[in-house]
Structure 1
Amino acid sequence: MLAQRYLQGDTLDSGEMDKLNELVALWQACLQDISWFLRCLNESIARQGNAENKCRGRFWEGRFKSQALLDEQALAACMAYVDLNPVRAKIAKTSEESNFTPIRQRFHAATTGKQPNNLLPILGGERKAMPKGPPFQLDHYLELVDWSGRQLNPQKWGAIDENIPPIL
């Protein structure tokens, strides 16, 4: 109410202004906190999901997880994990057919020779004086994702069928 009164042009006494300043500082701190944001996002999605499924409880087990990617191997593994999510969930048969993933755009780049504007280009080559981008070759990365997607994992639903030709 203090913020609404202030925004309407009402005059606030010094005690009310002090309280409003405290609230503004709290709101600014919250808006800069990823944990607070994800908690709020989780709550609204959980309420909607629980209403649709007629159930109760947490929607996600945890708000978020963070893992440091300390070397090229970890970076490649993380990228491949993201790119293979639709295959593992049986939403797509192959990684290059999966919508809304970088691998589809990278596959298109490999076939047309044009790098996607919204992704860092996979440039490969030596580390010395290398421009910004993942430090491995595009064709090697595409083969890695294709090979990984063909591996059967008992904890995942899907894999790329062995009868489908390789990505390259």
Structure 2
Amino acid sequence: MKMEDVSLSSMDNSKMEGFAQEILSDLVEDACLGLCFEVHRAVKQGYFFLDDTDQESMKDFEIVDQPGVDIFGQVYNQWKNKECVCPNCSRSIAASRFAPHLEKCLGMGRNSSRIANRRIASGNNTNKSESDQEDNDDVNDNDWSYGAEKKGESVIYHLSLQYCRYYRISLHK
């Protein structure tokens, strides 16, 4: 007997209880079948026993909430991450000292530029052929340079220009 064939007003209590029992058993059967499919799939995929851990192994993964340590309980050094590697000399330098070091290393600072110019000049005069000296004449030539500094140009731009000039890297090919 189907639900559609029976009107609710003409049913007695025993038939209503039978229909309710049938609906309840269908719902329980569907829930159990769904659970069985989920467990079977978890066993086949290999993740069914992942939640089974003992308390001893869980102590290794507890989150530590103490000042001065990270979430794993290890002492956190704030200054270790604030180091930079110089692209010129490959030294590790504190981030707060990186810009002054780069100026000196690339020969852009007040005193270091004089020293670098002397070094370049002394290097140019020793055992060079005429063709090499003609190529290096453009290094200190002001005609091809970018001229006066424009307002708003970044320090990095000037450092990279100085880097290219120092290592005789041609900007125009």
Question: Highest Rg: 1 or 2?
Answer: 2
- Higher RCO structure (Cα 8 Å, ≥6 apart): 1
TM-score, normalised via structure 1 length:
0.23
